[in-house]
Structure 1
Amino acid sequence: MRRARGMKLAALAIAGSLALAACASDEPEAGGGGGSSASGDLQIGLAYDTGGRGDRSFNDSAYAGASAAAEALDGEVEEFSPNDDGSDRAEGLAQLAEAGYNPVIAVGFNYDEVIADVAADYPDTTFAQVDGSVTLFDGSSKGENVTGLLFAEEQGSFLAGVAAATKSETGNIGFVGGVQSPLIEKFEAGYVAGAQAVNPDITVQVQYISPAGDFSGFSDPARGKIVAQGMYQAGADIVFHAAGGSGQGVFEAAAEAGARAIGVDSDQYETVGDPALQAVIMTSMLKRVDNAVEDFITSYSDGTVEGGTDIVNDLSTEGVGLSYSGGFIDDIESTVDDYTQQIVDGQITVPTTPAN
């Protein structure tokens, strides 16, 4: 159910308590830390998903795209991180719009229930939502001033499954999901399908860190490590995570087990910041949130944004794919390329929901 109108007053009332910080880095990075404010006319609002900036994954990728656009266009980025239970997401979006930031970008499907109301309250503000379609579950639109930035996660994850099955020496691999949800199940479905395309008899262990509705699974490395340890102990030699900040724990478990792991969203070989963990990251399933956010902001600046539509980033647009950092999968590049082309040509249709 949508919230009642009156977001503007609510936003002003809590202005002093929101964690907003103006950041436009001279050298945009996906890591933590602040930057110097820019003085240009472009004022970008960026509202993070659970965990905020510093996850070395999903949120950091969005920041990298926003800060790159700000640097190129002489703009400024204002950041908002929701509280632990996410109850202030609507107020955060409204505060950004009320303060004059435009466009405002919401990162993650968790903004589904609030962005439509905020967009209606601020019809002169252009909004975008990463991982959120402009169409709500009841078929209604979030508004003509909202653009959905979507990804074919199942396609990139299929390639991750191909890589895992091709490189596995035990015929046993794993998948760790942060929170059981339709979005993360797309990663699972693609990964399992890709692995089975290479080896129909492969064992794929699947476990989620937290159940549907409990988003702590995206920001709990300790629990991520425990889940991954169980998979390695049960015979897996490669584990793919789609768990945000919890993926750090998966990498730690891989290092202790002398096994391999697959990162997600960003090229985590480059972002993990620890040589011992870098050594176990075989590849990462790239979800180019950075490119999607930067392209959207550039289109806004050019005046070419078409509101009320979804932009889908898939293998054909290089919106998803695999990283080759570290050289661990260089020897199977032709195999990955072959499956990529089959998907792009429509010879393979990758499932978006798990088989069981």
Structure 2
Amino acid sequence: MKKGVVKKVLTAVLTIAMVTSLSACGTKNNSSQTTNTTTENKKAADYKIVLLLPGPINDQSWNATNYAGLLECNQKLGTKIEYVENVKASDFESTFKEYAEKGYNLVLAAGSQFDEAVATVAPNYPKTTFCVVNGSKAVGSNVAPIFPKEYEASYIASIIAGNVTKNGNFATIGGFPNTPMEHLMDVYEKNSVEIAKKRGISAAKATRAYANSWTDVALGKQMAEQMIDNGSDTLFVYANEVGLGSIEAAKTKGAKVIGFSSDQTKINPNTVVASVVFDFKTFYVWAIQQYMNGKLTGNTVHEAGIKEGIFLPVYTDNITKETKDAVDKGIQDFKDGKVDLKKLFVK
């Protein structure tokens, strides 16, 4: 081949190579720009989010409270969060897998009972963020529980109970004896008894029982009846639907109930004389905003409580001004750092 021909061939090859290289660079840049634009323009409604509930949305307790948070997010933020109610423990893992495999961005689950299932499933679906509401286990880069410091809410409830009781005999019923439940019960019982004793009721005491159920209404009624028959005049129940049975028993036998989680005074204001409401509308909006802003990070339990304003006392006409003032003072003392509730935990 002549030199002139070789030169022309080389020039042509180099030209093709340069065009190909430039074309490839151009394609890469466009792809990058498209990805960034998609992320920047992603709207709240574009996120695929689902909330799993262990009970019905009309239980007037835990499930209803979480459902209210979902509705507030959809209305205020423009999200389209879906929900599944009455998810059984035997279906926890399969339900998590179902939504992760459908490509959901965020799977919420209401209750610490979901912790173990998340720990099992989450490692296999790194593109999905798993968030247990009231969860305490954050092992995994895509596991980011949010935790309302319930023992701070039970502290408010204890101030009401300590001032409401006539004989200082407190009955408490929990769903299951997990760590968060034990802590909130510890705070409630110790503080309410202390307040009653300061009022001159020297024999004040608290009796605790666990239903080992969230749904057995009849069991809740039976347990409450027995505790009232044994002298308890003030009940505090945190066990979802089980609490409905306890309220019915208290109504029949004339005991008083301090509602918890949702506004249970609506059930019967002469029985449930006050409630400590979890403002999960505020809590959920905060959590979803954290997620959409990339701040709901894994390996971290994201907490909120009295200082974040998510626990609100609700009173009936049965509550005196003195009791309301005591609650206000207790909340302010806590905010001022004068109260260390963790010292009340039973080790």
TM-score, L = length of structure 2:
0.78
Cα distance change on mapping 1:221 and 1:171 into 2, 3 Å: same
The one-character-per-residue Cα deviations of 1:55-97 (angstroms, maximum 9, x if unpaired) are 221112111111211223333232234654x122011112122
Aligned identity (percent) is: 28
Residue 346 (1) aligns with residue 342 (2): no
Q: 2:62 aligns with which of 58, 61, 77?
A: 58
Higher share of residues assigned helix: 2
**Residue equivalent to 2:165:** 168
- In structure 2, C-alpha distance between the alignment counterparts of 1:145 and 1:354, rounded to whole Å: 30
Q: 1:129 aligns with which of 124, 132, 137?
A: 132
Q: 1:258 aligns with which of 237, 242, 254?
A: 254
**In 1, are the aligned partners of 2:77 and 2:285 still within 8 Å (CA)?**
no
Amino acid of the structure 2 residue aligned with 1:248:
L
Residue 154 (1) aligns with residue 151 (2): yes
- In structure 2, C-alpha distance between the alignment counterparts of 1:94 and 1:82, rounded to whole Å: 17
Cα distance change on mapping 1:245 and 1:114 into 2, 3 Å: same
In the TM superposition, residue 330 of structure 1 has moved relative to its aligned partner by 4.9
Q: 2:72 aligns with which of 55, 59, 68?
A: 68
Amino acid of the structure 2 residue aligned with 1:341:
Q
Cα distance change on mapping 1:308 and 1:209 into 2, 3 Å: closer
In the TM superposition, residue 337 of structure 1 has moved relative to its aligned partner by 1.4
Amino acid of the structure 2 residue aligned with 1:119:
A
**In 1, are the aligned partners of 2:53 and 2:87 still within 8 Å (CA)?**
no
- In structure 2, C-alpha distance between the alignment counterparts of 1:233 and 1:80, rounded to whole Å: 39
Cα distance change on mapping 1:352 and 1:176 into 2, 3 Å: farther
**Residue equivalent to 1:297:** 288
1:33-52 aligned at under 5 Å gives the runs 40-49=45-54, 51-52=55-56
Please give the secondary structure, in 2, of the residue aligned with 1:128.
strand
- In structure 2, C-alpha distance between the alignment counterparts of 1:355 and 1:203, rounded to whole Å: 18
**Residue equivalent to 1:337:** 328
- In structure 1, C-alpha distance between the alignment counterparts of 2:109 and 2:238, rounded to whole Å: 19
Amino acid of the structure 2 residue aligned with 1:110:
Q
Residue 183 (1) aligns with residue 180 (2): yes
Task: State the structure with more CA Rg.
Answer: 2
In the TM superposition, residue 246 of structure 1 has moved relative to its aligned partner by 0.7
| Aligned alpha-carbon RMSD (Å) | 2.4
Q: 1:327 aligns with which of 300, 314, 317?
A: 317
1:187-206 aligned at under 5 Å gives the runs 187-200=184-197, 201-206=202-207
TM-score, L = length of structure 1:
0.76
Please give the secondary structure, in 1, of the residue aligned with 2:116.
helix
- In structure 2, C-alpha distance between the alignment counterparts of 1:169 and 1:353, rounded to whole Å: 23
**Residue equivalent to 1:102:** 105
**Residue equivalent to 1:80:** 84
Cα distance change on mapping 1:161 and 1:130 into 2, 3 Å: same
Please give the secondary structure, in 1, of the residue aligned with 2:175.
strand
Amino acid of the structure 1 residue aligned with 2:163:
T
**Residue equivalent to 1:278:** 269
In the TM superposition, residue 239 of structure 1 has moved relative to its aligned partner by 0.7
**Residue equivalent to 2:20:** none
- In structure 1, C-alpha distance between the alignment counterparts of 2:301 and 2:225, rounded to whole Å: 39
**Residue equivalent to 1:27:** none
Structure 1, gaps ≥5 residues long? 1-38, 136-140
Amino acid of the structure 1 residue aligned with 2:78:
D
**In 2, are the aligned partners of 1:130 and 1:289 still within 8 Å (CA)?**
no
In the TM superposition, residue 252 of structure 1 has moved relative to its aligned partner by 0.6
The one-character-per-residue Cα deviations of 1:266-301 (angstroms, maximum 9, x if unpaired) are 12224x3xxxx2331111233334432232123323
Cα distance change on mapping 1:98 and 1:317 into 2, 3 Å: same
Structure 2, gaps ≥5 residues long? 1-43
